[in-house]
């Protein structure tokens, strides 16, 4: 379908959840003739949101791809999820793009989540364009949104279009550069007429045009010189330098329209062709050699050695595994063998498939800029590099955010544990933020992800794809016990009724250690009062007994035991007897040495808009949190705090509702701390209740 690499535009649509990404993609597909009816997210007729879990929630959960022709160019859309719950998929599939289209909702403006994906685009050095979406919504305000965009992303963001009317009077857009207006007919047919720019928009258009020319001039030394000398540039000069300015990042063009109304979408598609880079316009991809760390650059040419990155894996219980690749260099044909440089193995595949939302279409060849899929690779996973075996390269993998929400999973029907484990492992192939761990202390299977919706969607998939039903509940907190005081205690085990007796006797001194120091044992026996061979048995008895503390049965940590005295019996003493004596001494000593409960404390970094700050701090206090520091970044505040795990088991959904989805956080285990007195009682009582 494509003529050459210069005619390829592969871009990702990114923004916060619900800004209209999928609706824009649908409008493009409709305008390009890929679909015969405009797909609607709300009606479940979207081509790009097709998984049952997406239809149920009316939101994108898993990025989708579509390739089509627009005015002799090959456009490939990567429609990404906007919700934080599915951010890993957004980030990994963004690696497949050469540029990004960032959406800003004309009512809601730039949200925290949009900033997050903008940072990803920075990380990948993707040139970008902004589209102010939902111009037909009530209270839509283009100029306020542009102000918000510039406050957040800088003055390089300059409108290339302005809207004609807004909300229910939104009719179309003005192309500032060419001073043309596109008036759209009512309904979502996308039909429009080209006409004169309305007079009342002339001043505004002239002002933005000036800014635009300056930005374009700045991207190019020759143009800048001319501009400074003559005070202006010709339309042709500006137009031919436009893409260069976007690629260099000196200009981020802003367009506007409505996806569901199909207004302004064809002009947007034209801008994508004109302003966004082909693979040839981008810096060639860099990777490293699998042998040694030498940097390798692959030119985006069909005749270069083949190289591609696996940006997504789709796991299907029947069709098997589908690996989605972005080709960076070379040419790929069906029925080939490629080299997986990451795993150092060869992989064979049959058909080469182009993705069309849910549908797949076999193709005979694919080259730089293409996103294609192949089935049933044996060992390949997302983030692996596939390449020519003779000229191998490894592209860097991206960092993904750590999981922040965990639930304990158990099977609805007994005996399904193994099935849960294997099915979840399959789902983890396609979802890199999903984690499954067994907590040995609490004996639970813990499923972790980015939030409530992430885990719920995973459970839905488990049921649909593998027929496995599970129960979920908040995990138990891994409390521990320790001591605050000292004790000197005798443990004596003596059994001398009939047959051979048992005799073990030890005196221990117990004292607390610093947090994290664990258990230390010091042998201070002199004069052989306990024979050498029995001393490890005493230590073992203590270590084994410390797995269950005296307070509530949690493991005892951070204490030191000195073995100071004891006695033995020449016939009845044994390792077993000394082990029991050690354990007896330990149990008594703990009770005497002021035992206390310890709880895990998390380190959290919370990013929220300014206006939520008071609520967030107040809430952290009520969760027994300790704020360590604050930092402002634009209109956002970053709070760092230590908070007990028990208080933040549900922080992901709670923060979501406190900030209307505008807050984000990360958290990781920091250290253990003593549980305050009155709470200890409650936890101990609950643990004893459960043990009954
Ligand atoms: N009025 C109006 N509503 C829109 C427009 N675009 C999208 N919507 C509505 O906004 C909601 C979200 O639209 P989507 O296209 O699913 O947004 P998204 O950015 O793909 O959302 P996520 O996939 O959840 O990140 C849906 O109810 C759409 O009908 C628009 O241009 N105008
Ligand atoms: Mg979507």
Euclidean distance between CA atoms 551 and 174, whole angstroms: 73
- Token pair 């009845």 in the structure block, residue: 572
The CA distances from residue 489 to 518, 562, 593, in Å, are: 20, 11, 10
Q: What is the pLDDT of residue 2?
A: 46
Cβ pair 217, 223 in contact under 8 A? yes
Q: Which ligand is nearest to the CA of 108?
A: 1
The secondary structure of the chain in percent helix, strand, coil, rounded to multiples of 5, reads: 30, 35, 35
Q: How many CA atoms lie within 13 A of 122 on its CB side?
A: 7
Nearby residues of 414 by Cβ (< 8 Å), 6 or more positions away: none
Specify the pLDDT at position 319. 74
Tell me how far apart the alpha carbons of residues 312 and 80 are, in angstroms, rounded to a whole number: 12
Distance CA 216, CA 131 (A): 19
**For ligand 1, is residue 644 a contact (CB within 6 Å)?**
no
> Which secondary structure element, helix H or strand E, spans residue 77, and what is its range?
strand 73-79
Hunting for tokens 């081509």 — which residue is that?
47
Cα of 3 vs centre of ligand 1, distance in Å, is 33
The reply to whether ligand 1 has any atom less than 6 angstroms from the CB of 260 is: yes
Evaluated on CA atoms 290, 296, 297, 299, the torsion sign reads negative
Ligand 1 near 661 CB (within 6 A):
no
Structure tokens at 283: 């810096």
How far apart are the CA of 63 and the centre of ligand 2, in A?
Answer: 8
Ligand 1, residue 18: give the atom nearest the CA: 21
Rounded-to-10 torsion of CA 506, 511, 517, 523 = -30
CA of 52 to the centre of ligand 2 (A): 14
* Burial of 72 from C-beta contacts in 10 A (0-12 / 13-18 / 19+): exposed
Pocket test for ligand 1, best of 165, 259, 453 (most atoms within 8 A of CB): 259
| Distance (Å) of CA 51 to CA 68, 88, 214, 461 | 21, 17, 45, 10
CA 433, 438, 443, 444 torsion: positive or negative?
positive
Q: Could you give the CA distance from residue 514 to residue 416 in angstroms, rounded to a whole number?
A: 42
| Environment class of 410 (CB within 10 Å of its CB; exposed 0-12, middle 13-18, buried 19+) | middle
Ligand 2 midpoint to CA 618 (Å): 34
Structural domains in the chain?
A: 5-281 (3.40.50.300), 285-387 (2.40.30.10), 405-468 (3.30.70.870), 481-593 (3.30.230.10), 598-691 (3.30.70.240)
Smallest CA-to-CA distance from 291 within 396, 394, 395 is with 394
Q: Is 51 in the pocket of ligand 1 (CB under 6 A)?
A: no
Taking residue 234's Cβ as centre, other Cβ atoms within 10 Å add up to 11
Q: Where are the beta strands (DSSP E) in 176-274?
A: 180-184, 192-196, 252-256
Give the C-alpha separation, 154 to 371, whole Å: 32
H-run or E-run covering 23: helix 21-31
Condensed to tens digits (0 to 9), the pLDDT of residues 470-497 reads: 999 999 999 999 999 999 999 999 987 7
Question: Do residues 47 and 39 make contact, with C-beta atoms less than 8 angstroms apart?
Answer: yes
- Is there a contact between 162 and 201 (Cβ–Cβ < 8 Å)? yes
Return the number of other C-beta atoms located less than 10 Å from residue 302's C-beta.
16
- What residues does the ion ligand 2 have nearby, CB within 5 Å? 21-22, 60
Q: What was the pLDDT predicted at 687?
A: 87
Q: Which residues pair with 608 in a beta bridge?
A: 637
CA of 78 to the centre of ligand 2 (A): 10
Instruction: Give the span between the Cα atoms of 76 and 8, in whole angstroms.
Output: 8
- Return averaged pLDDT per consecutive 10 residues of the chain, 692 residues in all: 81 96 98 96 94 92 97 97 93 97 95 89 97 97 96 95 96 95 94 95 93 92 91 90 94 98 98 96 93 91 97 84 96 97 96 93 96 95 96 94 90 86 90 90 89 93 91 93 97 85 96 95 95 96 94 94 96 95 97 96 94 94 96 89 96 89 87 93 89 78
Full DSSP string of 118-169: HHHHHHTT--EEEEEE-TTSTT--HHHHHHHHHHHH-TTEEESEEEES-GGG
DSSP 497-515: SSSS-EEEEEEEEEEE--T
**In this structure, what DSSP letter does residue 305 have?**
P
Nearest atom, ligand 1, residue 19 CA: 19
Mutation test residue for ligand 1: of 23, 29, 64, 79, the one with most atoms within 8 Å of CB: 23
Tokens matching residue 171 = 């009719």
Residue whose C-alpha is closest to residue 77's, from 328, 289, 268: 268
Q: What is the pLDDT of residue 692?
A: 79
125: exposed, middle or buried (Cβ count in 10 Å: 0-12, 13-18, 19+): exposed
The per-residue pLDDT for 500 is: 79
List, for residues 626-647, the tens digit of each pLDDT value: 999 999 987 789 999 999 999 9
The pLDDT assigned to 442 comes to 81
User: What pTM was computed for the model?
Assistant: 0.86
């Amino acid at each position: 379908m494509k003529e050459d690499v210069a005619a390829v535009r592969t871009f990702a649509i990114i923004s916060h959840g619900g800004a209209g990404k999928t609706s824009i993609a649908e409008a493009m597909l409709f305008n390009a003739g890929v679909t015969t009816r405009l797909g609607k997210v709300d009606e479940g007729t979207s081509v790009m949101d097709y998984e049952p879990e997406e239809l149920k929630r009316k939101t994108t959960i898993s990025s989708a791809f579509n390739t089509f022709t627009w005015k002799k160019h090959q456009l490939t859309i990567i429609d990404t999820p906007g919700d934080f719950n599915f951010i890993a998929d957004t980030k990994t599939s963004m690696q497949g793009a050469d540029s990004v289209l960032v959406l800003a909702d004309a009512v809601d403006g730039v949200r925290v989540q949009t900033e997050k994906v903008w940072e990803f685009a920075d990380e990948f050095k993707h040139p970008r364009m902004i589209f102010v979406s939902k111009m037909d919504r009530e209270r839509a305000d283009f100029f306020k949104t542009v102000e918000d965009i510039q406050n957040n992303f800088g003055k390089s963001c300059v409108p290339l279009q302005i809207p004609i009317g807004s909300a229910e009077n939104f009719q179309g857009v003005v192309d500032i550069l060419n001073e043309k207006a596109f008036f759209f007919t009512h309904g979502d047919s996308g039909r429009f007429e080209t006409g004169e720019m309305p007079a009342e928009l002339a001043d505004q258009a002239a002002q933005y045009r000036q800014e635009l020319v300056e930005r374009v001039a700045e991207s190019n030394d020759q143009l800048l010189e001319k501009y400074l000398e003559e005070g202006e540039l010709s339309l042709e000069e500006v137009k031919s330098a436009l893409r260069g300015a976007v690629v260099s990042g000196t200009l981020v063009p802003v367009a506007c329209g409505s996806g569901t109304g199909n207004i302004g979408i064809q002009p947007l598609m034209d801008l994508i062709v004109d302003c966004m880079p082909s693979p040839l316009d981008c810096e060639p991809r860099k990777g490293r050699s699998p042998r040694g760390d030498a940097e390798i650059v692959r030119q985006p040419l069909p005749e270069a050695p083949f190289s591609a990155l696996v940006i997504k894996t789709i796991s299907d219980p029947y069709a098997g595994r589908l690996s989605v690749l972005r080709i960076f260099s070379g040419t790929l044909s069906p029925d080939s063998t490629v080299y997986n440089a990451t795993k150092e193995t060869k992989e064979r595949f049959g058909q080469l498939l182009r993705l069309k939302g849910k549908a797949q279409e076999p193709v005979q060849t694919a080259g730089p800029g293409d996103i294609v899929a192949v089935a049933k690779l044996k060992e390949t996973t997302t983030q692996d590099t596939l390449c020519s075996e003779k000229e191998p390269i490894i592209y860097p993998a991206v960092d993904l955010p750590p999981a922040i929400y965990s639930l304990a999973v158990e099977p609805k029907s007994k005996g399904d544990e193994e099935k849960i484990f294997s099915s979840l492992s399959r789902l983890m192939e396609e979802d890199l933020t999903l984690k499954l761990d067994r907590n040995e202390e609490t004996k639970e299977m813990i499923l972790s992800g980015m939030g409530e919706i992430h885990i719920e969607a995973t459970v839905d998939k488990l049921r649909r794809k593998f027929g496995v039903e599970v129960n979920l509940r908040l995990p138990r907190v891994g409390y521990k016990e320790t001591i605050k005081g000292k004790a000197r205690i005798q443990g004596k085990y003596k059994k001398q009724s009939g047959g051979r007796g048992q005799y073990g006797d030890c005196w221990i001194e117990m004292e607390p250690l610093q947090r994290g120091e664990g258990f230390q044992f010091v042998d201070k026996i002199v004069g052989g009062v306990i024979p050498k061979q029995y001393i490890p048995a005493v230590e073992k008895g203590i270590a084994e007994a410390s797995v269950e503390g005296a307070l509530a049965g949690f493991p005892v940590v951070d204490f030191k035991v000195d073995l100071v005295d004891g006695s033995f019996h020449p016939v009845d003493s044994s390792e077993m007897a000394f082990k029991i004596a050690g354990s007896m001494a330990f149990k008594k000593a703990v009770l005497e040495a002021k035992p206390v409960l310890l709880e895990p404390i998390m380190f959290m970094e919370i990013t929220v808009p300014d206006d939520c700050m008071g609520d967030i701090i107040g809430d952290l206090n009520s969760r027994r949190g300790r704020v360590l520091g604050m930092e402002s970044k634009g209109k956002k505040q970053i709070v760092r705090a230590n908070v007990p795990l028990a208080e933040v088991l549900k922080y992901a959904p709670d923060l979501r509702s406190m900030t209307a989805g505008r807050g984000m956080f990360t958290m990781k285990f920091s250290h253990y701390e003593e549980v305050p007195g009155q709470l200890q009682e409650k936890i101990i009582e609950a643990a004893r209740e459960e043990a009954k």
